[in-house]
Amino acid sequence: MKNVAVMGYGTVGSGVVEILLKNRGQIAEKNGEDIAVKYVLDLREFPDSPVADKIIHDFEVLVNDETVDIVVETMGGLNPSYPFVKRCLEAGKHVVTSNKALVAAYGTELLQIARERQVNFLFEASVGGGIPIIRPLYQSLAGEKIEEITGILNGTTNYILTKMGENGESFDAALKKAQELGYAERNPEADVEGYDTCRKIAILTAVSTGCEVNYEEIYTEGITGITDVDFRYAKKMGTSIKLFGSSRMQQGKAFAWVAPVMIPPSHPLYAVSDVFNGILVKGEALGVSMFYGSGAGKLPTASAVVADIVDAAKNSHKNVYGGWSSRKLELSSMEEAEHRYFARIAGCEKDSIDSVKKELGQTEVIKLEEESGEYAILTDKMPEKEWNQKKDKLAADGVEILQVIRAEV
């Protein structure tokens, strides 16, 4: 029998216990041995819950109990998650976590300790909730050269953008709805500013390259600047706007960024709407593959945690997941990344449009009948540096650029 201790009986932690209890027989059969919940560490009491008699408040109890084989960290945040997880690994216990902040910030060190102690540090649930993506990347695609990972990795922002696109809602109205439905936090900054997506794409990039990725070096732009007017243009152009976390290997250079991108219906991620997540993986031999599903929520996220628990139990005497090393991945500057650019420009005089087209070269012009005081353009593909230079030149010539969104159309 393997004993599990769960740290944090919140949404995900209680979901993990629920699945472990409900599917205990099936898990024992698949795993070859029983997996039992021995402790649940939380500051609170849960007298009416199935773990009422397993609640402990002192971390020392579980870390010093040699019969605890696997520790589940579902507390979130970095403190006390980081010191607790570190001590559990040092004590020779396997650790499974759903905490992307922890993995993005301390993954390199925690993976190293796990290797030294011949235990496993597993974090399938930290990206894409219930969608299997970490294990496919290092197991199923082990022989691949991954050329691109592009994901809609945040359910809250995807819900907001979907409602703006479907109903013509403003950002604020869509955010309010997301908060009412419990998708968005009262302080939605981590989601809407792209920080959550940034940590997730950092983890996926590190897993796929085997190198450490400093999430602070990833260019990150959220969705707070996207407006209902942008979506009116998108509708006219038959496109949509999604928040992408992307890492790409191009001409021997590694790029990683988070930004809203305008995409056409032919893009594999176009149909990923509402709170769902979707991740496109492009391999040199494989071509494009798509992973789609529930990227958040109690039971979907708990499902991925339980799969990691089973994996840790099956490999209880050895470290099977290399993760990534301390070798750092050098990321190229966003200035070198190439995109098309959708831009909205104030004014609608023919002279202004002509001078903008002259500066930008091959450019499409889009006009909305109801927005008579402005128009939009879609440029050809060019490096960000070149676009910024052209944009600065236009601004110096008195052209007022109201909005810029990268486009993959």
Q: Provide the annotated active-site residues.
A: 200
Stretch that binds ligand HSE, among 66-74, 150-158, 167-175, 224-232 (CB under 6 A): 150-158
Quote the least distance from Cβ 154 to ligand HSE, whole Å. Answer: 4
Among the residue ranges 62-70, 151-159, 213-221, 257-265, the one whose residues contact ligand HSE (CB under 6 A): 151-159
Q: Which stretch binds ligand HSE (CB under 6 A): 31-39, 148-156, 351-359, 382-390?
A: 148-156
Residues 111-140 vs ligand HSE: string with x where CB under 6 A? ------------------x-----------
294 or 379: whose CB is closer to ligand HSE? Answer: 294
CB of 311: closest distance to ligand HSE in angstroms?
21
Q: By CB under 6 A, is residue 294 in contact with ligand HSE? A: no
196 binds ligand HSE (CB under 6 A): yes
- x/- string (CB under 6 A) for ligand HSE, residues 254-293? ----------------------------------------
Specify whether the CB–CB gap between 92 and 116 falls below 8 A. no
Q: Is 296 in the site for ligand HSE (CB under 6 A)?
A: yes
User: Does 81 help bind ligand HSE (rule: CB under 6 A)?
Assistant: no
* Residue 191 sits in the site that holds ligand HSE (CB under 6 A): yes
In the complex, the residues that contact ligand HSE under the rule CB under 6 A are: 129, 154-156, 191, 196, 295-296
